[in-house]
Amino acid sequence: MQKHLICLDLDGTLLTDEKKISPYTKKVLLELKALGHEYIISTGRPYRSSQAYYTELEMTTPVVNFNGAFIHHPGDLYFKTVHEELDLEVANAIVERVPDLNIKNIIAEVKDNVYIHYHDPVLFDAFSMGNPQVKVGNLVQNIEAGPTSILIQADEPEVPGIRKALDDLFAETVEHRRWGAPYPVIEIVKKGINKAVGVDYVRGYLGIDQNHIIAFGDEDNDTEMIKYAAHGVAMGNAIEEVKDAAGHVTLTNNNDGIGKFLNDFFDLNL
CATH numeric code, 5-82+193-265: 3.40.50.1000
Q: What does the pLDDT look like over 192-211, one tens digit per residue?
A: 999 999 999 999 999 999 99
HEC assignment per residue over the chain: CCCCEEEECHHHHHECCCCCECHHHHHHHHHHHHCCCEEEEECCCCHHHCHHHHHHCCCCCCEEEHHHCEEECCCCCCCCCEECCCCHHHHHHHHHHHHHHCCCEEEEEECCEEEECCCCHHHHHHCCCCCCEEEECCHHHHCCCCCCEEEEECCHHHHHHHHHHHHHHHCCCEEEEEECCCCCEEEEEECCCCHHHHHHHHHHHHCCCHHHEEEEECCHHHHHHHHHCCEEEECCCCCHHHHHHCCEECCCHHHCHHHHHHHHHCCCCC
Question: How far, in Å, CA of 249 to CA of 39, rounded?
Answer: 19
Percentage of residues of the chain with pLDDT beyond 90: 61
Task: Locate the domains of the chain by residue range.
Answer: 5-82+193-265, 88-190
Q: What does the pLDDT look like over 160-201, one tens digit per residue?
A: 888 888 899 898 999 898 876 556 688 899 999 999 999 999
Least confident range from 61-70, 148-157, 210-219: namely 148-157
Average pLDDT for residues 25-50, to the nearest whole number?
Answer: 95
pTM value > 0.95:
no
Please report which confidence band the pLDDT of residue 145 belongs to, taking 50, 70 and 90 as the band edges: confident
> Into which CATH architecture does domain 88-190 fall?
2-Layer Sandwich (3.30)
Indicate which residues carry an active-site annotation: 9
